[in-house]
Amino acid sequence: MFSLVGCMPRFLLILFLLVSYSVSARLVSENPDPARYMQITEDADIWAQIGNNVMTVGNIRAGQILAVVPGAEDYYEFRFGFGKAWIDKGHLGTVRGNEKVQDSLGDLNKPLSNQNLITWRDTPMYNEADNTSEQLGTLAGNLRYPIISKLKDRLNQTWYQIRIGERLAWISSLDAQEDNGIPVLTYHHILEDEENTRFRHTSTTTSLRAFTNQMTWLHDQGYTTLNMYQLEGYVRNAMNLPARSVVITFDDGLKSVSRYAYPVLNEYGFRATAFIISSRIKRKPQLWDPKSLQFMSISELEQISHVFDFQSHTHFLHRTDDVGHPILLSRSYDNILMDFKHSRRALSQFNRHVWYLAYPFGGYDDKALAAAKDAGFHLALTTVRGKVKPGDNPYLLKRLYILKTDSLEEMSRLISNQPQG
């Protein structure tokens, strides 16, 4: 694997997201040469962009047929998942005889199902839903790939139908899993154990030791940290992403994030999103005081911006009323909309693309959902427990809390690809 953008600039990621929405159509409609079927002359590796990296994503067997269009000088490109893949031109030739792609039921034109499969290892692709049939090739491990449909064979085994290079293939459920969503982890405040005298019993405060252990575990397990632009691509079925993917978020914009979370994330090359209460950004850094809740300054935000992307946690609405309810719930649509827009403008000095919102205290209602959309946000996060899946309501996305008391075994259970009860 080689990295195109191990530290891809934010504007390039945004550009990639924007163009990814129509990438499949572009492969045919914008390329001056229409796609044509060609035959693989010898077993050939294929490459694609998965998240931030261009990597080998599998191989196609000799004798198989794919629809390709000319790409770079030495490569053809073809449809792969939600994007495209590349194959060396030296491995393709004209189709021999009368060999044709079989699609008697018109499955190639079916819409996708808002469901992916996940591969953990090299996974065979068959021409039929039968493991004795001819293999088209293999998909590499650590991929998410869209499913067209499913069926059960006479032995009650589930098969996943996929589309690759304008042809159909089948993958056995014995070789792959259904995708149960991407975990979005939520953090707020981080302190060292010995200095935490005031927030020991608050669930939103994590010890530095626990946080470091959790990030080390993610790194050792090979997880890729996604930003919110990539999560949007996932929700909207527009981007190929790794199986081992996680989103790391911090709410509020507390000073402890720059003091403690940033060095750990930076050491592992991780990326995270900070949802900032824009009215609480300080002009100058405050002297560190672990007994109070302190917020980051302009300079502190700028210093961590190569690791953190900054998004909105509202401007003045991060408060509760006299009975402890989020004050947002008692505000009018117009008031909420004005605050959301104010926050976007205030944060634009750090990020020109403030497209994502975390509701304060997880509180929302129909007015808040409408205002989030009308204010220009693409996605909004709640504190409802669960994972994010393709096709979810973009303004009601779920998250997970990993508590300081949770063992690494519990963390593994929460973020692994298991259905959430």
Q: Which of 110-114, 183-187, 290-294 has the lowest mean pLDDT?
A: 110-114
pLDDT number for residue 2:
43
Whether the predicted pLDDT of 342 surpasses 80: yes
Q: Tell me the pLDDT of the chain averaged across its residues.
A: 91
Nearest in space to 390 (alpha carbons), one of 239, 252, 169: 239
Residue 417 CA to residue 421 CA, distance in Å, equals 12
For 352-397, write each residue's pLDDT tens digit.
Answer: 999 999 999 999 999 999 999 999 999 999 999 999 999 999 999 9
For 259-273, write each residue's pLDDT tens digit.
Answer: 999 999 999 999 999
Strand, helix or coil at 293? coil
pLDDT number for residue 203:
84
pLDDT number for residue 26:
44
pLDDT number for residue 420:
58
How many CB atoms within 10 Å of residue 348? 13
For 167-184, write each residue's pLDDT tens digit.
Answer: 999 999 999 999 999 999
Can you tell me the mean pLDDT for 186-212? Answer: 92
Whether the predicted pLDDT of 67 surpasses 50: yes
* DSSP symbols for 10-76: HHHHHHHHHHHTTHHHHHHHTSSSPPEEEEESS-EEEEEEETTEEEEEEEE-TT-EEEEEE-STTEE
Whether the predicted pLDDT of 33 surpasses 90: no
pLDDT number for residue 113:
85
pLDDT number for residue 334:
98
Are the beta carbons of 393 and 373 closer than 8 angstroms?
Answer: no
Nearest in space to 145 (alpha carbons), one of 4, 222, 31, 46: 46
The CATH H-level (homologous superfamily) assignment of domain 184-415 is Glycoside hydrolase/deacetylase (3.20.20.370)
Whether the predicted pLDDT of 7 surpasses 70: no
Give the residue extent of every domain in the chain.
2-178, 184-415
Q: Which of 109-118, 233-242, 304-313 has the lowest mean pLDDT?
A: 109-118
pLDDT number for residue 28:
40
The model's confidence at residue 10, banded by pLDDT at 50, 70 and 90, is low
Whether the predicted pLDDT of 404 surpasses 90: no
pLDDT number for residue 32:
58
Q: Which of 25-34, 131-140, 193-202 has the lowest mean pLDDT?
A: 25-34
Nearest in space to 189 (alpha carbons), one of 206, 177, 208, 203: 206
Alpha-helix residue ranges (DSSP H) falling in 190-349: 208-220, 228-235, 255-256, 262-267, 298-303, 333-347
The model's confidence at residue 29, banded by pLDDT at 50, 70 and 90, is very low
For 151-162, write each residue's pLDDT tens digit.
Answer: 999 889 999 999
Q: What six digits make up the tokens of 198?
A: 């005031």
pLDDT number for residue 6:
41
CA–CA distance from 158 to each of 130, 152, 168 (Å)?
10, 4, 16
pLDDT number for residue 396:
98
Residue 283 CA to residue 93 CA, distance in Å, equals 64
Whether this model's pTM surpasses 0.75: yes
Whether the predicted pLDDT of 25 surpasses 60: no
* DSSP symbols for 200-211: TT-TTEEEHHHH
pLDDT number for residue 202:
85
Residue type for 339, please? Answer: D
